[in-house]
Amino acid sequence: MSAKRLILNLFEMSTPTHITHGLWRLPGNNRHRYTDIGYWQELAVLLEEGGFDAVFLADVVGAYDVYRDGFDDALREGLQIPNTDPLLVVPAMAAVTRRLGFGVTFSTSYEPPFAFARRMSTLDHLTRGRVGWNVVTSYLPNAARNFGLADEIPHDERYEIAEEYLDVLYKLWEGSWDDDAVVRDATGGVYSDPTKVRRIDHVGRRFRVAGPHLSEPSPQRTPVLFQATASPAGIALAGRHAEVVFTGTWGGPIRPTVEAIRRSAVEQGRAASDIKVLVQASVFVAPTDDEARATYARYRAYRSEIGRYVHSSTPFDPTLHDPSATVGQALAAEGRESGLVPPSLRRMTVAQYSEAVDEAWNERFQAIGNPARVADTIERWLEEDGIDGINLRQYHSFDTALGFARLATPELRRRGLLPPADEPPATLRERVFGAGPRLPDSHPARRYRNGRSL
């Protein structure tokens, strides 16, 4: 019996193909129903009953267009295009659930913070405090060109923008309204007490925002802050801001990254336990090991090679080269700069590269077998790798989540890795940290409480 609690999210995106390229073609897969409100409501009920903490919704605001110099392959693969806005499926799912959380991706790169602040407060109200925000900075060149820019914003500048963006949001979410501002005094005719609401008057390098925030305080105020990162700049940002970090390696050991993330938090005056660390994981569970392996093999036959090149923005065409040639040779043969691919990948053969860039079939966090075997494997990740939870990859919608819910969840509950089914509803932050609904005092956003430091 492990004392550690598993954070269990489903990794999802409102699009035909998210990360499991080619698998929309699997018989019975519901991925083409992503525009249907019923898809999201069925999924939400299934996840809540299956003990999932949250559905983690990825997003992009442009098309992948590096591989073969265009987005034709992305369209053919249904690879993250077409897609729809992830924020708008949350209210539909919230309406049919009471416990499930929602981690929504939104980029700090292109849209005004004032409007986004209200959107997240609205979601936090409508979900009764079950919303998280996956803070990302945008990287797709096509996305930049959809928002008036000539090309993507340089990496360091994106992080500078993100820092100020977060600061504006914290002022609005934490500092603009006091907890007791809304009095609803019908006799005195006072809805809100104006002495407890204030402008933020933010004037920074990038943003000028007056306020006040338009939304009254929501259950969590600041949504649970997710961040997906593995880069040094990302880890520095996470140490300061993130509550849940979604990270990964490409096959190597994860522990150094986990430790770097926790160390970064401590360096910022926070506790190592203030950050939960998640990884992407695959779980193929069935009543018997043989059946689980058969499902794995059946799904794997639907992989799309082109899909993985599109998704990894491969800057050459592996299909044109001898699989035993190196990537460096392939780049040279196409007359492309070697710097387009990092040295570690450049030294690989084309065949090795092709496997390395396909995260969904990476064997590092992969559990295949009967419920006990799968639970043993997950328990080992928690103990040996030092992670706190997983974003479960979907290969088949809804069979992947359904299989986990029916077979893995009962076993994980027996072992105390997941809370019992009758755990009372709570906010996402309470659920993840077992503490209150608001950010802890150690978080930098809290310095704005009651309008201080504004």
Among 30, 45, 96, 163, binds its own copies (CB under 8 A): 96
Among 69, 184, 335, 337, binds its own copies (CB under 8 A): 184
Q: Which of 396, 402, 426 is nearest to 31 (CA)?
A: 396
Strand partners, 366: 282
Q: Looking only at residues 139 through 158 of this chain, which bind its own copies when binding is defined by CB under 8 A?
A: 142, 145-149
Stretch of residues binding its own copies (CB under 8 A), selected from 118-126, 220-228, 316-324, 409-417: 118-126
Could you tell me if 58 and 11 are in contact, meaning their C-beta atoms sit under 8 angstroms apart?
Answer: yes
Could you tell me if 404 and 368 are in contact, meaning their C-beta atoms sit under 8 angstroms apart?
Answer: no
Residue 205, both tokens: 């390098």
**Closer CB to its own copies, 298 or 346, in the complex:** 298
Q: Which of 89, 91, 76, 99 is nearest to 14 (CA)?
A: 89
CB of 95 to its own copies, least distance (A): 5
Stretch of residues binding its own copies (CB under 8 A), selected from 213-221, 311-319, 350-358, 378-386: 213-221
CB of 190 to its own copies, least distance (A): 5
Tell me the number of residues near its own copies by CB under 8 A. 76
CB of 318 to its own copies, least distance (A): 17
Q: Looking only at residues 215 through 244 of this chain, which bind its own copies when binding is defined by CB under 8 A?
A: 215-216, 218
Among 8, 43, 90, 169, binds its own copies (CB under 8 A): 90
Q: Looking only at residues 162 through 181 of this chain, which bind its own copies when binding is defined by CB under 8 A?
A: 177
CB-neighbour burial class of residue 205 (10 A; exposed 0-12, middle 13-18, buried 19+): exposed
Per-residue binder mask for its own copies (CB under 8 A), 281-320, x = binder: -----------------------x----------------
**Closer CB to its own copies, 210 or 266, in the complex:** 210
Q: Which of 256, 239, 237, 257 is nearest to 247 (CA)?
A: 257
Residue 84, both tokens: 């729809």
Q: Looking only at residues 120 through 139 of this chain, which bind its own copies when binding is defined by CB under 8 A?
A: 121-123, 125-127
Among 30, 37, 377, 440, binds its own copies (CB under 8 A): 37
Could you tell me if 312 and 356 are in contact, meaning their C-beta atoms sit under 8 angstroms apart?
Answer: no
Q: Which of 126, 100, 3 is nearest to 42 (CA)?
A: 100
Please report whether residue 28 would count as binding its own copies according to CB under 8 A. Answer: no
**Closer CB to its own copies, 88 or 351, in the complex:** 88
Stretch of residues binding its own copies (CB under 8 A), selected from 113-121, 232-240, 246-254, 420-428: 113-121
Stretch of residues binding its own copies (CB under 8 A), selected from 18-26, 247-255, 266-274, 440-448: 18-26
Stretch of residues binding its own copies (CB under 8 A), selected from 71-79, 237-245, 274-282, 337-345: 71-79
